[in-house]
């Protein structure tokens, strides 16, 4: 459990916080939120966020599913392990630990952004455990969050720069974080100030700037993971915001890799659909529960 000094500032009604113990080495403790009853559903968050990213979605689906919202390795309140990798295979290993150590089967995997890529590759690895995949705004194209705004391009370029990158990663002014996240929203008001505060608190955890920099550096591994999509045997639903950072050509490329997938485009929504249109995701999930 998080220490008193690093306890989340946001509580999602009906949820309880749990951990999966470290395996030693570079596989640290993982934290997840649990809520609801029914078939298992696993939520996988975006770049630079955490389980609380789904604060508005979880209450809408908890009557239909037993929800597990994971803090990906090193993110949120999962353990930060010095020297750990944060490329796609390492993050996928964390997701697979959740499914295997909790012995979850008949699972609906719902991921947004980076989490969408991990949902698809986990389904490719564990077909016997995954019932279906809902992949929201897959983060598997060049540029990624740098397409959010000019400020985002400047900040991400600085974080990735040799030498000064670690220093810049450790400095995260509230206005910059807010502006970058709002660049992923069609409705800017969907970014609540208490959520910004929570993300800033997590960003102050010892070692977190190293994690944040490594996650941005991992984008090429997320792009490479697209080669795994045709291996997915479970039904897939691709969901995109009309104003997502992905371009129509990016979306069509994924549709060609997943020709049997259902496809939904959410009008006026951006990259963070779980923040601004949780009702759309809830309706999609609850109608097939």
The domain limits of the chain are: 13-142+219-285
Q: What is the pLDDT of residues 147-186, one digit of tens each?
A: 777 677 666 666 665 655 564 556 577 888 888 889 899 9
Q: What is the mean pLDDT of residues 194-219?
A: 91
Architecture of the domain spanning 13-142+219-285: 3-Layer(aba) Sandwich (3.40)
Residue 147: its pLDDT value, please? 76
pLDDT above 90 for 241? yes
Percentage with pLDDT > 90 across the chain:
78
Residue pair 199/184 in contact by the 8 Å Cβ criterion: no
Predicted model pTM: 0.94
Q: What is the pLDDT of residues 252-285, one digit of tens each?
A: 999 999 999 999 999 999 999 999 999 999 999 9
pLDDT above 80 for 2? no
Mean per-residue pLDDT of the chain: 91
Q: What is the pLDDT of residues 127-156, one digit of tens each?
A: 999 999 999 999 999 887 777 776 776 666
Residue 201: DSSP 8-state? H
- Closest by alpha carbon to 143, among 183, 172, 186, 173? 183
pLDDT above 80 for 65? yes
């Amino acid at each position: 459990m998080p220490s008193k000094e690093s306890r989340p500032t946001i509580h999602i009604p009906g949820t309880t916080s749990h951990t999966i113990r470290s395996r030693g080495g570079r596989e640290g403790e993982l934290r997840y939120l649990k809520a609801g009853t029914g078939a298992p559903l696993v939520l996988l968050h975006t770049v630079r966020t955490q389980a609380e990213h789904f604060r508005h979605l979880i209450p809408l689906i908890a009557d239909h599913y037993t929800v597990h919202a994971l803090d990906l390795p090193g993110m949120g309140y999962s353990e930060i392990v010095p020297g750990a990798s944060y490329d796609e295979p390492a993050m996928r290993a964390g997701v697979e630990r959740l499914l295997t150590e909790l012995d979850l089967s008949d699972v609906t995997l719902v991921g947004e952004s980076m989490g969408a890529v991990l949902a698809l590759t986990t389904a490719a690895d564990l077909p016997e455990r995954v019932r279906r995949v809902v992949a929201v705004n897959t983060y598997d194209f060049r540029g990624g969050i740098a397409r959010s705004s000019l400020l985002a391009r400047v900040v991400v370029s600085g974080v990735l720069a040799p030498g000064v990158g670690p220093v810049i990663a450790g400095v995260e002014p509230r206005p910059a974080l807010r502006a970058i996240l709002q660049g992923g929203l069609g409705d800017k008001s969907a970014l609540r100030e208490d959520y910004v505060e929570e993300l800033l608190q997590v960003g102050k955890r010892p070692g977190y700037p190293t994690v944040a920099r490594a996650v941005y550096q991992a984008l090429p591994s997320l792009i490479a993971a697209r080669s795994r999509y045709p291996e997915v045997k479970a039904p897939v639903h691709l969901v995109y915001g009309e104003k997502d950072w992905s371009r129509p050509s990016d979306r069509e490329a994924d549709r060609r890799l997943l020709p049997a997938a259902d496809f939904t485009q959410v009008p006026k929504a951006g990259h963070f659909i779980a923040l601004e249109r949780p009702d759309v995701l809830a309706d999609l999930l609850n109608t097939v529960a």
